[in-house]
């Protein structure tokens, strides 16, 4: 895979920049962490070379100075809000984050439940945290937020929130997802620290949009595509342009709220430390792009991928999906992109047209596209996966890595004993069958050893895949798109 981003430079430069910001505020900084702190696969797709855990590695450079506070809104707990990429609720993700941070020897000081109005589920979650020995705090909905600054910055506003006890120079405020109340938590802490005579500052770490790339750069457009459901829009930062005569990019929510934030800073600290939303940020990612063309191409692929996901969501009749499709169509036009620029799309459609059955195409690291068709033994995705492993291992296409006599008993198990309707093997089942063959067959063993090379490969299916196949491709680190159509005319699909 071509690399467009210097990850080592990023980790070093980013940690140094945050140290400078800590020193700027008298050795106490509340750092709002936007986006994913780890498992940032969007960033790794649009900035090839960016490691999904880069932010954690960067923070690890500051481990002895940092502590982490996780924020979750009571409303998200009450509504069982799901983190889409992981399929777990926000409250369960808080526990997952706690384990992940502790496994890397980070200090996780507490959990803050925001927007609290006495929700029973939030109370129950807090009891669970207590039973696990995890300290928690409550922050409340403030009347008039964010407009009534005099009320917000008072003992009846931020003053009603619990004061979060912290002990280190850098306090990282993170959350399972957007809308959790990270910024409000930081500002509440600034108010409490000021009341106690402690000098503290605030900064924001948001990877996207990248402030020092052009507004319509594909990397920034891909961010709009990724947040189409939030109606985020990239904008030129007018405050930065007015103050410095420099064109930078930010997004609408930060620009819209900046006058309020600036007024809050003046109310709390007596002055505003920032002249623009861009000033608040500490992101150095734009300085670590080493091949702009590679990142542009990767971002275009991401925009197309998001478009296909929205089309499939609309087919599944998911809430709000129609509007998301419209927005992504507009972004595609703005970026002068069409779906045929995703190499696997025309190849999969051509294979389906030639065979009359669903097909799947996989683009390998060297740019070669491998296809798979539906047979009586295998689904198209399982066939394509097997064919790709053969090519990667230099194994003859006609070589049978798994015998029909080995596959047929699995089909009997699926249909006759487990009550399934589809006898064809899914992707997970073909990999298990391949691993069994690898015990006695050298070619099968060779093919199995090629699996790590599939990470980052592009995949396209001419039909919406089962959740099993989707999860398998995700676990393999492959980037899947599908045509917005089902293989059958059934109204219920798993």
The Cα 151–Cα 142 span in angstroms is 8
pLDDT score of 45: 94
pTM as predicted: 0.88
Give me the CATH topology for the region 342-482.
Cytidine Deaminase; domain 2 (3.40.140)
Per-residue pLDDT of the chain (494 residues; tens, 9 = 90+): 789 999 999 999 999 999 999 999 989 999 999 877 777 889 999 999 999 889 888 998 999 999 999 999 999 999 988 876 677 899 999 999 999 899 989 999 999 999 999 999 999 999 999 999 999 999 999 999 888 999 999 999 999 999 999 999 999 999 998 889 999 999 999 999 999 999 899 999 989 999 999 999 999 999 999 989 887 899 999 999 999 999 999 989 889 889 988 998 998 988 999 999 999 999 999 999 999 999 999 999 999 999 999 999 999 887 778 899 999 999 999 889 999 999 999 999 999 999 999 999 999 999 999 999 998 889 999 999 999 999 999 999 999 999 888 888 888 888 888 888 888 889 999 999 999 999 999 999 999 999 999 999 999 999 999 989 999 999 999 999 999 999 876 655 55
pLDDT score of 260: 87
pLDDT score of 404: 87
- Tokens representing 112 are 């803050």
- What is the CATH code for 7-288? 3.10.630.10
Residues near 220 by Cβ (< 8 Å), separated by ≥ 6? 208, 209, 210, 213, 214, 234, 249
211, 212, 217, 221 alpha-carbon torsion, rounded to 10°: -10
pLDDT score of 84: 67
pLDDT score of 492: 52
Are residues 292 and 4 in contact, defined by beta-carbon separation less than 8 angstroms?
yes
pLDDT score of 373: 93
Helices (H), 132-181: 149-152
The distance of Cα 458 from the centroid of its chain, to the nearest Å, equals 17
Please state the domain extents for the chain: 7-288, 342-482
């Amino acid at each position: 895979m071509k690399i467009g981003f210097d990850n080592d430079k990023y980790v070093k430069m980013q940690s140094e920049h945050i140290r400078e910001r800590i020193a700027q505020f008298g050795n106490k900084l509340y750092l709002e962490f936007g986006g994913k702190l780890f498992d940032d696969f969007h960033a790794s797709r649009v900035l090839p070379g960016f490691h999904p855990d880069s932010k954690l590695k960067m923070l690890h450079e500051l481990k002895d100075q940092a502590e982490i506070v996780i924020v979750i809104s009571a409303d998200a707990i009450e509504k069982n809000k799901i983190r889409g990429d992981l399929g777990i609720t926000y409250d369960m993700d808080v526990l997952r984050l706690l384990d992940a941070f502790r496994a890397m020897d980070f200090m996780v000081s507490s959990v803050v439940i925001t927007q609290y109005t006495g929700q029973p589920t939030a109370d129950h979650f807090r009891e669970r945290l207590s039973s696990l020995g995890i300290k928690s705090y409550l922050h409340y909905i403030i009347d008039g937020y964010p407009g009534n600054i005099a009320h917000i910055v008072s003992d009846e506003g931020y003053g009603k929130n619990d004061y979060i006890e912290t002990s280190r120079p850098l306090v990282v405020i993170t959350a399972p997802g957007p809308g959790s109340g990270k910024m409000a938590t930081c500002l509440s802490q600034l108010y409490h620290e000021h009341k106690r005579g402690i000098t503290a500052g605030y900064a924001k770490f948001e990877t996207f949009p990248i402030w020092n790339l052009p507004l319509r750069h594909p990397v920034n457009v891909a961010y709009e595509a990724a947040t189409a459901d939030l109606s985020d829009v990239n904008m030129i930062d007018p405050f930065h342009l007015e103050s410095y005569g420099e064109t930078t990019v930010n997004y609408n929510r930060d620009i819209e709220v900046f006058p309020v934030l600036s007024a809050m800073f003046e109310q709390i600290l007596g002055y505003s430390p920032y002249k623009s939303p861009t000033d608040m940020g500490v992101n150095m990612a734009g300085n670590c792009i080493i091949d702009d063309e590679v990142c542009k191409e990767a971002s275009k692929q991401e925009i197309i991928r998001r478009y296909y996901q929205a089309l499939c969501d609309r087919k599944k009749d998911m809430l709000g999906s129609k509007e998301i499709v419209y927005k992504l169509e507009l972004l595609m036009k703005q970026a002068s992109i069409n779906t045929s620029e995703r190499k696997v799309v025309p190849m999969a459609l051509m294979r389906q047209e030639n065979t009359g059955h669903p097909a799947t195409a996989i683009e390998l690291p060297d740019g070669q596209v491998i296809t798979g068709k539906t047979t009586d033994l295998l689904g198209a995705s399982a066939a394509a996966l097997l064919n790709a492993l053969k090519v990667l291992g230099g194994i003859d296409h006609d070589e049978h890595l798994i015998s029909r006599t080995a596959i047929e008993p699995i089909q009997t198990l699926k249909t006759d004993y487990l009550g399934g309707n589809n006898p064809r093997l899914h992707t997970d089942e073909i990999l298990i069958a391949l691993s069994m063959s690898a015990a006695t067959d050298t070619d099968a063993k060779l093919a199995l050893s090629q699996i790590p090379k599939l990470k980052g490969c592009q995949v396209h299916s001419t039909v919406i895949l089962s959740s099993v196949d989707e999860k398998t491709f995700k676990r393999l680190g492959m980037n899947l798109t599908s045509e917005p159509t089902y293989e059958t005319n059934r109204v219920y699909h798993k």
